Amino acid sequence: MTRYQDDIDAIQALKDRNGSPWHAIDPEAAARMRAQNRFRTGLEIAQYTADIMRRDMAEYDADSSVYTQSLGVWHGFIGQQKLISIKKHLKTTDKRYLYLSGWMVAALRSEFGPLPDQSMHEKTAVPALIEELYTFLRQADARELDLLFTQLDAARAAGDETGAEFIQSQIDDYETHVVPIIADIDAGFGNPEATYLLAKKMIAAGACAIQIENQVSDEKQCGHQDGKVTVPHEDFLAKINAVRYAFLELGIDNGIIVARTDSLGAGLTQKLAVTQHPGDLGDQYNSFLDVEEIAEGDLAGGDVVIKRDGRLLRPKRLASNLYRFRAGTGEERVVLDCITSLRNGADLLWIETEKPHVEQIAGMVDAIRAEIPDAKLVYNNSPSFNWTLNFRQQAYDALAELGEDMSGYDRDRLMSVEYDDTELARQADEKIRTFQRDGSARAGIFHHLITLPTYHTAALSTDDLAKGYFGDEGMLAYVKGVQRREIRGGIATVKHQNMAGSDLGDNHKEYFAGDAALKAGGQHNTMNQFS
């Protein structure tokens, strides 16, 4: 017996018990609707996807070649189409997730309009997008299963028992489009209580993994911009605890917390850490401050000083009332941040870097793993990096170190198209192609994501269409550049009425009203041109 058949039998028994008032109910139709709505709540999704992520983390620990990936999405339809494409081309969603980017929420989903990535958007926009994404993924399940049910009915009507049995096996073994979402909660949108309240909303919407960063909430900056300000460890750990309590309250005992450190690019702190004795966590945080030694008689009104080893040290304070860290301490602070986060409730790490360089990342991870051997990263393969220039410069430096003649290259101009067909460019592109594999093997990267890819692809594809359509190509720009490619590529959106649920709705109408149903999918439906 299968779950599908079990549901048919259970609904048939229920129909029998209720007698004639239920005469119009078709048990198989009801079982189909159940199959198309596997997840009834966001918490069911959060638990299902948390289990997937925990399994994937354990598999990565055993074999670093089985890393995971995601692309950032900013709308439910974009996330849905991504998963449909993955299933079409790769036949499984295994090890493929979604990433919810706070940057794209700020830039594209705020009621204020486009905003910089500074936590100024409505915090409720984040759980709303999680719910929207899972609504579209569940609709992808319903639509795909509806197509299978239609094929099953056709095979039965034709007396094709073998075909019907094959289609039934596809229904029984159906793989859902619902996958884990790693969701960005920024710096928590306020104090730990605010973080807890927002985390609950995100988890209830379906999030199994929440990423939180160690910047201050009221001065939060994009990870690849200047002016980043971190908080003392105790402040950050309180927010990690707040997220864990939210998971536990809602019964997701294995929810995942991704602790992000921005310390590599953050040169400022808003306040000094509290310290009780030399060498404690607060003292270690303060030890990275840029200070000057002063005598007691040099103290001025309003001065803040630290006493260490019998000396008075005055942290250098800016006009903004922020304190500066010593230059060159970023990597040490990252390592301390990561070890501290993992020892205090985080499950995965995120190190925000200024460039994609495997050995730079690996150097920090090696130091972290000396203390916590199974430390794992989520890494941002960011569009903020100039990947072409970075990897061509890395290839240039590697060749120069081998003693190769580099006189034919200008290291500062390697982005130029004139280098596209050179051996250096080919080596750089190969390193880009294998970056995720290499990073997972060498630098402990469990999950690779691109934060903003669909922001860029939407702009690029729109630019291509606008250029041709409003130019000399006219309608050919759409037909050749979009529709013909959809048809030949088997892209489901070519039947946009079907994608929006028209056929699904027709079947429901027939369930509800039988032969009296007024359906949209008749012989005059223009979507039949794409059959």
For 245-277, write each residue's pLDDT tens digit: 999 999 999 999 999 999 998 899 989 999 999
pLDDT reported for residue 503: 79
Q: Assess contact for 101 and 126: CB atoms under 8 A.
A: no
Strand arrangement of the beta sheet that strand 306-308 belongs to: 291-294, 311-315, 306-308
For 182-222, write each residue's pLDDT tens digit: 999 999 999 999 999 999 999 999 999 999 999 987 665 54
pLDDT reported for residue 225: 47
Q: From CA 363, how far away is CA 78, in angstroms rounded?
A: 36
pLDDT reported for residue 46: 98
> Torsions phi, psi of 260, nearest 5?
-100, 135
Residues of the chain scoring pLDDT < 50: 222-225
**Catalytic annotation present for 208:** no
Q: Assess contact for 342 and 236: CB atoms under 8 A.
A: no
Helices (H) and strands (E) in the chain, counts: 20, 14
3: nearest Cα among 145, 155, 136: 145
Q: Out of 126, 222, 229, 499, pick the active-site residue.
A: 222
Instruction: Write down the pTM of the prediction.
Output: 0.92
Distance of CA 464 to the CA centre of its chain: 27
For 382-438, write each residue's pLDDT tens digit: 999 999 999 999 999 999 999 999 999 999 999 999 999 999 999 999 999 999 999
What are the distances in angstroms from CA 81 to CA 91, 357, 411, 493? 14, 31, 40, 9
pLDDT reported for residue 243: 98
For 464-491, write each residue's pLDDT tens digit: 999 999 999 999 998 999 889 988 888 8
pLDDT reported for residue 523: 63
Q: From CA 319, how far away is CA 349, in angstroms rounded?
A: 33
pLDDT reported for residue 77: 94
Where b means 16+ CB within 10 Å and e means fewer, 177-198 reads bbbbbbbbbbbbbbebeebbbb
